[in-house]
């Protein structure tokens, strides 16, 4: 497995259970496409989704099985990747917009109202 390149928490503040179906990160430095491969989204050591590489500056994880977050709970997630190039390059991953976290609620089956304002971009420099 690669190195951890991002971590985040999702708090379910809804009054019903919610399911997460996808998460998208944006690389502010536009370096992930050339330098990271075999990206993995995990929760407590379980693989939720994989993608072979970034698509330009975007890393999109589509979950094969929607991930349940129960009413009032919070869950922690990690992103791992193989660093394949880019010594000295800086990568800064962020969940930029509300639409970058997709899913639905258990009660009505509609999309989620996501607040990403507390997400801080995670920046790192690749070392040789």
Tens digit of each residue's pLDDT (9 = 90 or more) over 65-105: 999 999 989 999 999 999 999 998 999 999 988 889 999 99
Higher confidence at residue 87 or residue 117?
A: 87
> Band of the pLDDT at 1, cuts 50, 70, 90?
low
pLDDT tens for 52-62 read 999 999 999 99
CA 54/CA 66 separation, integer angstroms: 21
The distance of Cα 33 from the centroid of its chain, to the nearest Å, equals 15
CA 103/CA 120 separation, integer angstroms: 21
Q: Residue 13 pLDDT more than 90?
A: no
Q: Residue 118 pLDDT more than 80?
A: no
Contacts of 11 (CB under 8 A, 6+ apart): 73, 74
CA 111/CA 39 separation, integer angstroms: 25
Per-position b or e across 10-35, b if 16+ CB within 10 A of its CB: bebebeebbbbbbbbbbbbeebbbeb
CA 93/CA 78 separation, integer angstroms: 12
Locate the domains of the chain by residue range: 3-125
């Amino acid at each position: 497995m690669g190195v951890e390149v991002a971590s985040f928490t999702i708090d379910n503040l809804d009054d019903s259970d919610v399911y997460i179906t996808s998460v998208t990160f944006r690389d502010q430095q536009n370096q992930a496409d050339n330098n990271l491969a075999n990206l993995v989204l995990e929760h407590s050591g379980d693989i939720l989704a994989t993608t072979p590489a970034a698509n330009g500056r975007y890393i999109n994880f589509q979950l094969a099985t929607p991930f349940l977050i129960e009413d009032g709970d919070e869950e922690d997630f990690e992103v791992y990747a193989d660093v394949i190039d880019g010594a000295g390059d800086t990568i800064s991953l962020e969940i930029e917009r509300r639409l970058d976290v997709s899913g639905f609620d258990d009660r009505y089956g509609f999309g989620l109202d996501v607040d990403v304002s507390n997400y801080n971009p995670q920046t790192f420099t690749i070392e040789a």
